[in-house]
Amino acid sequence: MPDFYYQIKGRELSAYGEVPGWAWPPIFSGLVTAPDRKQAKAQIEEEYSRQFPVRVLKKDIEQHAYLLHFKEVEPDNDYLLRRFRKTVCKECGTIFIPIDKYNDPHSDHQGLEYCSDRCSKEGRFREVQEFRLAHEGKLPPVIYQVRQKSTGRVYVGQSIRPFTLRWWEHLTYPSESKFHETLRATPITDWEFSVLEVVSVPDDCKSKAAYITDRERHWIDALNAVADGFNSVLPTGVSPQLSLIE
C-alpha cells in the first residue's frame, strides 16, 4: 500500500487590504498509508475530525483557514521518508524522528543528523577537534570488540572516531541486527568492550579506509565473529593488504 505525504497549511495573516497566502512552514506534516488518494484524504480528515479543501481559489481564500496538500510517496523517496524514521542523534545518542521537529513550532533545529541545535553545534565542534587530533596522529583508527561474557561471542568493529562513542552508539542504535537485539535484551554487566588493535596505516598506503577495513576483516576472521559471533558479514571488496601499499 502506498504512503502519502501530507501538509496542512494555515492561511497567513495579512496586512489590511492584501490578499493572504498560505503560511510557511505548514502547521503539520505527516504520512498516511492508504490504498488510494481518496482514502488517504479520508484518513487524514478522520484524524482531524474535519474536512480540508485541497484547492482554494485566490478569491475564496478568506473563507478557508486551512489547505491540505498531499501526494503519493515513491518507496525509494528516501529524501522524504527518512524524516519519518527513528534516527540516532550523532552527538548525544537520543532517538528522535526528524518530522517531529518540523511539526514542533518551538523546535530550534530541523536537520536530520542531530536532535537539537545544541547537539548540532557541539557535534560540529567535536568533528573539527577530532579532525585536528586525527591529523596530529592523536586519534588513531582502532579495531574494537564487544564481547558477551556469558557466551564468549564477540562483535568486531572499526572506528576512526573516539572508540567509546561507537560503544555508546551500539547501545542506543535501534537496529534489528542480532548484535543490537542481543545487546538490548541482556544486562550491560554481561558485556565488555576492548580495543583489539590500534591501526597504524602506512604512509604509502593508497587507501586508508581500505587498510582499516582489511584489519577489521582480519579480526572478524580470526575471532570467527560471523559464524560464532555477532557480525553479520565479513567485509568484502577490499584488496589484500599488500596491494594497498605502493
Residues that bind Zn ion (CB under 5 A): 89, 91-92, 94, 115, 119
| Residue 87 to residue 175: CA distance in whole angstroms | 10
Cβ at position 112, least distance to Zn ion in Å = 12
Cell of 174: 535501534
Taking the CA atoms of the chain, what radius of gyration do you get in angstroms?
25
Cβ at position 126, least distance to Zn ion in Å = 12
Cβ at position 160, least distance to Zn ion in Å = 21
- Provide the 8-state DSSP code for 20: P
With left for phi above 0 and alpha for psi between -120 and 50, is residue 22 left, alpha or beta?
Answer: beta
Nearer Cβ to Zn ion (92/205) = 92
CB 20 within 8 A of CB 28: no
Cβ at position 90, least distance to Zn ion in Å = 8
Cell of 229: 559471533
Query: Shortest CA distance to 147 belongs to which of 180, 185, 84, 190?
Result: 190
Nearer Cβ to Zn ion (51/94) = 94
Nearer Cβ to Zn ion (115/225) = 115
Cβ at position 111, least distance to Zn ion in Å = 11
Nearer Cβ to Zn ion (120/231) = 120
Nearer Cβ to Zn ion (126/184) = 126
| Residue 3 to residue 129: CA distance in whole angstroms | 41
